[in-house]
A and B are shown apart, each in its own frame.
Chain A
Amino acid sequence: MRSVLLNEITKTWSFTGFRVIMILHFALFFLVVLVASTMDIAVPGFSTRNLYQFPNIWEYFPWVASWFNLLLAILIIVMTGNEYSFRTFRQHVVDGFSRSQLLSGKAFLILMIGIYSLLMVLLFTLVFGFIFSSDYSDGAFINKSYILLVYFVQAIAYMSAGFFLAVLFRNTALAIILFILYRLIIEPVIRLIFPPEARLYFPMKSISNLTPLPEFLSIFSGNQQGTDAADSLSFREMGLLAEDLPVLVNLVLALGYTCIFISLAYLLLRKRNL
């Protein structure tokens, strides 16, 4: 197992494309949260700065970070596609790796990138949270921090989907195009055929629903969920957003889809000639 991990680190870290995408991911997230933090729209009773305060920031930053999960999925597609275009998956098997070791290498990479993105969001959440918050009481600080772990599962799920498509098509460009098309067009169109309650169970829908759009109106107004005032300003109460499944159900669905993606990729690796 040690050789699998060391090899994955060697080939990943030395790949310029990896560094470029990781820097891009970091810089884009940082820029968005930084620029948004400087633009305070404050009218009596409302302030966008509330987004940067504990506990709202636990909801807001993972939601912003989720926009860039596409980059992480593309990164995994590129790294897996490389193995096919350089024919190194094939060479690794010739040299003595089993198919499951090929899978372990990429699963390790997905996990590492997931941990990196988790730590990145955690770091920015803490830094911005402490800068903009005045209430450091235990409840406010920890409340909603679990969303960060939910975001971690989401990032892993997207990358697993990317990995599966890269193994399926064995072509980087095709896999990236189809991933984007599926995410943005194909699945949303297919979902329309199904009744509204069934649409929530589709892979991309349930994975993206892990970090739902924060309740901006109630956050801006400074009201916390659970109060009558907050409820009256809820997007959902106003019929602006569809009902989501509970987070736990989405979490189980996302983990389930992750297992399916990884298992299908393993099946393809086993059954197909390299």
Chain B
Amino acid sequence: MEKVLEISNLSKNYGRITAVKDLTLDVGPGHVFGILGPNGSGKTTTLSIITGIIAADTGSYRWFGQETHAGIRKNIGSMIEVPNFYPYLNLIRNLNIVARIKGKDLSDIDRVLKLVNLWDRRKSRFDTLSLGMKQRLALSAVLLGEPSVLVLDEPANGLDPEGIAEVREIILREREKQKTIIMASHILDEVEKVCTHVAVLKNGESISQGRVHELLTADDPVIVLCEEAGRLKDEIVRAGLSESIEMKDNELVIVLSKGKSARDINEFAFSKGIVLDHLETRKKSLESKFLELVK
């Protein structure tokens, strides 16, 4: 299956500051790829490089297996940082400009404005819109001409909860159309709800990447309650079933070795004649996972 985007050993420095360091990642078709990281981790720089507004110092990237040129960008809907439009033009005229650049049919403007609920404001000047409306207008520009790939940098930035929900709904709708979406976000809950894959950046480097599900379940702790917690702990350590194990009263918090599951612990305890009162896998949120990673 052809990759939509391949980034190889990408680096970018601003003077002595390293914005992106040796970044390598692949995005496949239909992936909703989240780029996470604290402020200054290189998310926006990475997206700016792949959308052509910043040149990388070293490394390369390829869209659809091709060397990048302006023509390729016409088929990628991108929104980097804040919405950029002419403040003195109305929404229709601003979108006319975008549609002409992308070589898309001007008639599609009506569709995208209705999609983001801005049709009623189509004749308003851009500078009269609220921040949320501006963000939605930027999304409508991204969706012009139904591009197969969307690149979104903080799409819910500055939006109220209702606005965030609206943006999420739009992204989910696009995901259902099997579009590839690459998005940087601070809102981890959003990423968890929307993304299929994720890369976590710290100081410009990728410190973790993979499927969201795998990343979340990789080291989820198993919680065990039993009368013989001390004996069970010793047996588990002896058998090498855990990466780490903590005991507090009758409760054990076990981070399992690779390939082991809560079921294995249950069978193991049974084989040792230990009765378990309670057994559960505690799911970590992406947020706690993220905080652990970037610490």
A-side residues, CB < 8 A to B, are 3, 6-7, 10-11, 14-16, 82, 86-88, 90-98, 101, 273-274
Contact = CB atoms under 8 A, between A and B. Distances in A.
A7 B73 CA distance: 18
B103 A3 contact: yes
Most chain B CB within a 10 A radius of its CB, from A86, A92, A94: A94
Interface in B84-102: 84-89, 93, 96-98, 100-102
B93 A273 contact: no
Nearest to A16: B88
B53 A273 contact: yes
A7 B88 contact: no
B102 A95 contact: yes
Contacts of B93: 10, 14
Nearest to B77: A95
B48 to A, nearest CB: 8
Interface in B51-81: 51-55, 69-71, 73-75, 78, 80
A195 B277 CA distance: 100
A257 B98 CA distance: 33
B294 interface: no
B73 A90 contact: no
Contacts of A82: 86
A6 B70 contact: no
B52 A10 contact: no
A95 B143 CA distance: 11
A101 B97 CA distance: 13
Contacts of A92: 101
30 contacts: A3-B101, A3-B103, A7-B96, A7-B100, A10-B96, A10-B97, A11-B97, A14-B89, A15-B86, A16-B88, A87-B84, A88-B86, A90-B53, A90-B80, A91-B98, A92-B101, A93-B51, A93-B52, A93-B70, A94-B53, A94-B73, A95-B78, A95-B98, A95-B141, A96-B71, A96-B73, A96-B103, A98-B69, A98-B70, A273-B55
Nearest to B98: A95
Nearest to A7: B97
A86 B87 CA distance: 8
B82 interface: yes
B141 to A, nearest CB: 8
Given A7-B100, A86-B86, A95 B74 contact: yes
Contacts of B98: 91, 95
Contacts of B82: 87
Contacts of B55: 273
A96 B51 CA distance: 9
B70 A97 contact: yes
Most chain A CB within a 10 A radius of its CB, from B53, B54, B82: B53
Given A94-B73, A97-B70, A11 B80 contact: no
A273 to B, nearest CB: 5
A92 B70 CA distance: 10
Interface string B14-52: 000000000000000000000000000000000010011
Given A10-B93, A87-B82, A97-B70, 9 more contacts: A86-B85, A86-B87, A90-B53, A93-B73, A95-B78, A95-B98, A96-B71, A96-B102, A273-B54
Nearest to A85: B87
A11 B100 CA distance: 13
B188 to A, nearest CB: 26
Given A11-B89, A90-B84, A101 B70 contact: yes
Contacts of A14: 86, 88-89, 93
Contacts of B78: 94-95
Nearest to B45: A273
Interface in B239-266: none
A3 B100 CA distance: 5
Contacts of B102: 95-96
A21 to B, nearest CB: 14
Nearest to B93: A10
Given A3-B101, A6-B100, A86-B86, A95 B73 contact: yes
A15 B71 CA distance: 29
B274 to A, nearest CB: 61
Contacts of B103: 3, 96
Nearest to A91: B84
Contacts of A274: 53-54
Contacts of B86: 11, 14-15, 82, 86, 88
Interface string B111-154: 00000000000000000000000000000010000000000000
B258 to A, nearest CB: 42
Given A11-B89, A88-B84, A95 B53 contact: no
